[in-house]
Amino acid sequence: MANLTMIDFAYPVSPPPVKTDILLVYVGGDTPHDMTDAEMEAQPARYRLPTWVRSNPTGAAQAQSDASVFIAWLNAHKVPKNVSVLLDLEVAVNTAFVTSFNNALTSAGYKVMKYGSLDYIFKNPKTSGGTFVADPTGTEHMVTEGDTVATQYDFAGSYDLSVVLASVPLWDTKPVTIPDKPAFEAPDMRESIDFHVSWDAVPGATNGYHYEVVNRNTGKVMLDKNTMGTSFEITGWTGDLNIEYRIAVHETSTHLASRWSEWISAMYT
């Protein structure tokens, strides 16, 4: 699964000098420039990483104040829960601040990544979303130390470039809709041992779907497959039917979406 690319700049320009998957959004703190909504909307990157900068942390009280402002911004911009946000520490080390900030944002429903220089960042406590390491070698690479999930590899003058693991949950500005309840057609007669599941086509699902079926009696996975269609079926079933199934959309040819439909139960005895 390929890493995602990211750009950040203190003073964004449109169009950006490099097209990337992710835009790092400076929200507040001691950043030289808070990105405006207009500047953010002018950027073409699909994903966003809201970022709070605190290169001069003093302790827990400051962290609570910063976290309150950051959470208010996230709520105002309807940033979904369970995605990553970033605490930019530069070369700062402050256990009390990081712990308090992480607890506040994690309690609010977000995954907190911490960012800083490779020489300093791991001296801070772990956060709920892993570590974003500055290691500007000029060559694209991923640091493998600790719980690293992203690496800033190039300080390119007016902007910086990074790579981010594809598994990192991100604010998606073009989310693919997942069918909430795929329709189940029960067999008409007990003698029938075939069943069929279908769902409406999802706009933008050009790379197809993935589905899983679990036998609830045994807990074993019966099916774990891809399809370009909008249905699947099991034929030749014997015994009682007691399953759960769910559907996801492939966002690219190699990257399975992290957003699934809910588990749907189907029973027929």
Residue 79 is part of a domain; what is its CATH number? 3.20.20.80
Q: Which of 124, 149, 172 is the last residue of a domain?
A: 172
Return d(Cα 151, Cα 163) in angstroms, integer: 5
- Is residue 35 located within the same domain as residue 160? yes
As a whole number, the mean pLDDT across the chain is: 87
- Is residue 238 located within the same domain as residue 118? no
Is 102 within 8 Å of 85 (Cβ atoms)?
A: no
Return d(Cα 113, Cα 107) in angstroms, integer: 14
**E-assigned strands of 30-165?**
47-53, 84-88, 111-117, 131-134, 148-155, 160-164
24: three-class secondary structure by DSSP: strand
Position 189 scores a pLDDT of 42
Return d(Cα 214, Cα 198) in angstroms, integer: 17
Tokens of 73: 């911004």
Is 121 within 8 Å of 133 (Cβ atoms)?
A: yes
- The CA distances from residue 251 to 8, 126, 205, 260, in Å, are 24, 30, 7, 12
Position 179 scores a pLDDT of 55
In a domain, 178, yes or no: no
- Residue range of the domain that includes 215: 183-268
Return d(Cα 180, Cα 172) in angstroms, integer: 18
Number of structural domains the chain divides into = 2
Position 243 scores a pLDDT of 79
What are 56-92's pLDDT values in tens digits? 999 999 999 999 999 999 999 999 999 999 999 999 9
